[in-house]
A and B are shown apart, each in its own frame.
Chain A
Amino acid sequence: MLWLWILIGVVALVALFAVVGYNRLVRLRNEVDTGWANIDVQLQRRADLIPNLVETVRAYAAHERGVFEEVTRARAALQQAGTPGTAADANEGLTIAIGRLFAVAEAYPELKASESFLQLHEDLTDTEDKISAARRYYNATVMRFNTAVQSIPWLLVASPLGFHAREFFSARGDTALPQVSFGY
């Protein structure tokens, strides 16, 4: 009889741990999803600024066609990117393309002084700051989720239950990954 009670106790305890642990994984996964949505909003905002920027520069420097095409291509790549890794790569590509566009703009003082160009420049800088802020949050949530999924005992059952380690938002060859991770 005693053994039966001990058995019931153990089963109940294991069940409790399983429920608490499972709920924690769900919560952490939701946080990762929220973190990704935050980045996505800012990436979209950045992509939305591009057509205006291209039009503004074109008004002063119509013959710099190569640069316009490059920026437009980079923007399309960003919009088609499906995973955090490819999105980070595409975002990096867009940064390089925009950098080239601004370098071109250097040669046109009237363009540089125009109201709409200054405004776009400010908006783009702001969006880049916000992408990096959103990235810090997202990567912290991914770090936390991955640590949970990859530690015992979840290491064995997380994958069958549908909890797969997530990808960081970082471009290939990017060294700005969280070296110090305070994620909590």
Chain B
Amino acid sequence: MMNACPGILNTGMYGAVVLPYAVGIFSLIILKRWKRLQWAFFFLSTLFQLFAAYSLFRSGNFGSGISQKFPLALSPIPGLGQSAFFQFTGLGFIFFAGSTIVTLIISIFSLAFNDRDHATGVAPLWTILMGANAGIFFAGDWFSFLISWEVMGWTSFLIIAHGREDSRKAALYYYILSLIGSSAMLAGIFIGISGSGSMAIADSVRYFSGLWGTRNSLVVLSTLFFTIAFFAKSAVFPFYMWPSLAHAEAPDDFSSFLSGVMIKYGVFGLIAVVLPIYRAGYVGPAVRGVPLYLAVLGWFGVITAVLGTLYAIKQDDMKKLMAYSTVSNIGLIIAALSMNSSLGIAAALFHTFNHMVFKGGIFLSLASVKYRTGEREMHKLGGMAYRMPLSFFTFLICIIAAAGIPPMSGFASKWMIYQALFEKKMLIMAIPAFFASTGSFLYLYRGLHTIYLGQLSNRFAKIKEVPAPMAFAMLIMMFIVMLGGFFPGLVLSPVNSIFTGMGLAPISQDLFSIQGVTTSIRLTSIGAIFMGSFFIVGFLYLIGRKREHVEQLDTYTSGETPEEWGLTEEKYHYGMHFYEPFEVTIEPFLKGTSMDGLFRRIGFEAGKLSGTVKRWFNTPQLGTLVLLIVVVLLVVVFGGIV
């Protein structure tokens, strides 16, 4: 079957990767004057990528575990060995499919979002970024991977900065960490290439796996290089503070993509490169069967989850809050996949895809609110549910999923994460994970209450719901979130089927249920119970007595006149300092662990070093210069001779 339709596979693969580059460059150069058309082309390009994904799915060996190579048309480089090639692996495919679906929905949103008042002009770069996106997931050799990774880096920098000064500063923080990661990754990659003698990623992984027992330190060092790169890209401790700046300052629709898709690249990298090395043939210290390195990784994940939650609780800005929520969720994903078991990786992948959708939905809903109101700080909003019900519902459904409450998809994936930790008896790790996960309810509800519930300010009394494409996009996101909650098998079956190819035993699940370690749950039933109770309540509401409509303030004040107490409408909404006592309690802990201060300090010292070095070039006296040169030459000569 492999050779049955190589033509379609070839076209599909090339189309998925190369076409977006071409469309993006075309868009950038030719379509400069027609910005709306650029967004249309972005949508079309992503749609084509989805078709490519579909054709690959139909005609490829999806699930049988065989990967196929497609040589590229790039001329081979004698100094570097073989020509670059792409590889169709199951893992890469599901990441590609997931990211393409989410991006397609976002692109529908962007079509309407980027009107004259809100246009950001980032469509061509984003199109190119989608090509790099596919390239990362389908790369078979290190060069395709590197090319895609680096192109992803600089295009995302330019998009996040999108011509504004404060956005540029946020983007630069992100990009510097990304460059540090890239440099570290280059070291790891070239150690692998020189050791395995080949450019293929699989060969390097095999090379490193084979070194266990003989050169443990080299393997650990190399995987550390990779881990630094993937941690920097996925915002894991200690690199966890950049999303609050970058995700917040990016264009609103791109924030959805950043938090939804881009932050997962590190997760993909870890599963594809680092985890297999620690699987077969591992010889070294282990904690309850988990290699020590991975256990430490898991702890980093858990710390990230806790810190993300704590910082999110403090935020007043809705985008920063959700950015920290992303950090927290990534921490949970890392904790699950560090167990390096089928259940752990399945849990991580399930939560990854769920997060893609529900975080994408949350950011789209926030973008809708910002589109209509222009505000990002939550205490200035309120009562949006009355004017923008669809955005409200999207936000509600998605935060239910984010909090891990049934019947939404987040419940199933978080449940699996805990099961994965239990399987390896990592109970002490599970405790902070629980804390982070349940603590998320605090900030998620704050977002809901402060933005959508409470008083509607007079300023926004006349705003409308968002235009149709944006509403449609949010509807689809909601629908997928609910679908994933009722039928977990829709995501888990594809995930399960790639495991044999990865050398893992499949987990037991079906369309409606998942088998864990302590028990199994039948999610469709749980969902049905929740929906049933919802309908009962709804029914009671409908048959209840006639209701009287009162003004909002009336219900709170019970007849008192709050103006006497100096309260205004805005203060009444009580969005400011929502969790002040809690913030005061955790402040010392956060100050102690803040990486932000450390990085700023490093940046500051580098700047001072730069100034010192520059002063060398400003030597005014030519005589001093001559003397210096003579001295240097004398030192070298005598040093060499003696």
Chains A and B come from one and the same complex: no
Which residues of chain B have a CB within 8 Å of any CB of chain A?
none
Which residues of chain A have a CB within 8 Å of any CB of chain B?
none
